[in-house]
Amino acid sequence: ILGWSDKLGSLLKQLAIANKSLGGGVVVVLAERDKEEMEMEIAKLEFDFMGTSVICRSGSPLILADLKKVSVSKARAIIVLASDENADQSDARALRVVLSLTGVKEGLRGHVVVEMSDLDNEPLVKLVGGERVETVVAHDVIGRLMIQCALQPGLAQIWEDILGFENAEFYIKRWPQLDGLCFKNVLISFANAIPCGVKVAADGGKIIINPDDKYVLKEGDEILVIAEDDDTYAPGPITKVCKGVFPKMHDPPKYPEKILFCGWRRDIDDMINVLEAFLAPGSELWMFNEVPERERGRKLTDGGLDILGLVNIKIVHREGTA
């Protein structure tokens, strides 16, 4: 893990739970902080790491000698955390860290996951890092999750269950014995897992969620499933399914809604675009915050929102403290 942020505690806990079935693993943290100070912060978590050891090293991820000090070339995976600066400064630093990683002479064995702060800066990091780098724009993802949870009560609990390692979670694995099967047969090959996608080897590892039933698995393709653990599922013989008549499903009609936004976020324009796609025509978005009303239009337009192009929602402004 390169860098330090308030997300580190939950990150270490999840890694420990994930490594439990292996009897623990090794997590190395490299940050520009005092080693003893980092160790004290981690000790304050009062969490049983279940065999996983956490090693702290003081240094900069921008310096090749410091990256060598933590054997970055031998890591199974590398996580680059966003810093506490403003979004563009944080992403510029992440870009420099990725550049440093591409300069490691020994090469990297693992893939790199970079936490970004602004969606607009994502293509730049992917361009520099190539196929080995994956980006996660936490701020943007949380904004979209909040909207989905607001429109579908109870969804937050499902996200928590699937995205954490406590219950069932996602796994991607290759099963050579399934090569040549149609996806509709893959769906009924696992007794203890739910297949929900394919990582296509021929398309540079692109993941297709819920592929067509007729999709035939090719050599190198991997299956994305939801399962209890990585060692609790395996394909078995294809179950015999009796044909029946599938009931006709009708989408329930959409009605106009009123949504209240309390507060202001940097990417509020992106959240409004997501709402515009979800809500029925005639819906209202009430924006209640301390940003002066005369400034809001300019901020939203600067962020890339076409206010006059909104078809489904009408924005209603109110000033005040939530």
| Rounded Cα–Cα distance for residues 215 and 28 (Å) | 41
| Rounded Cα–Cα distance for residues 80 and 1 (Å) | 6
- pLDDT of res. 78: 97
pLDDT, averaged across the chain: 93
Per the CB < 8 A criterion, the answer to whether 52 and 22 are in contact is: no
pLDDT tens per residue, range 138-181? 888 888 899 999 999 999 999 888 888 888 899 999 999 999 99
Per the CB < 8 A criterion, the answer to whether 12 and 54 are in contact is: yes
Strands in 258-262's sheet, in edge-to-edge order, are 258-262, 283-289, 313-319
- pLDDT of res. 101: 95
| H or E element that contains 139 | helix 138-151
Confidence tier at 291 by pLDDT (50, 70, 90): very high
Residue with tokens 């701020």: 139
- pLDDT of res. 166: 81
Segment 243-250 mean pLDDT? 90
Confidence tier at 243 by pLDDT (50, 70, 90): confident
Mapped onto helix, strand or coil, the DSSP state of residue 171 is strand
Q: Residue 46, Cβ neighbours under 10 Å: how many?
A: 5
pLDDT tens per residue, range 76-120? 999 999 988 888 999 999 999 999 999 998 999 999 999 999 888
Which amino acid appears at position 99 of this protein?
L
pLDDT tens per residue, range 18-48? 898 888 999 999 999 999 999 999 999 989 9
Percent of the chain's residues with pLDDT above 70: 100
Q: How far is CA 75 from the centre of its chain?
A: 20
Which amino acid appears at position 321 of this protein?
T
| Rounded Cα–Cα distance for residues 92 and 88 (Å) | 6
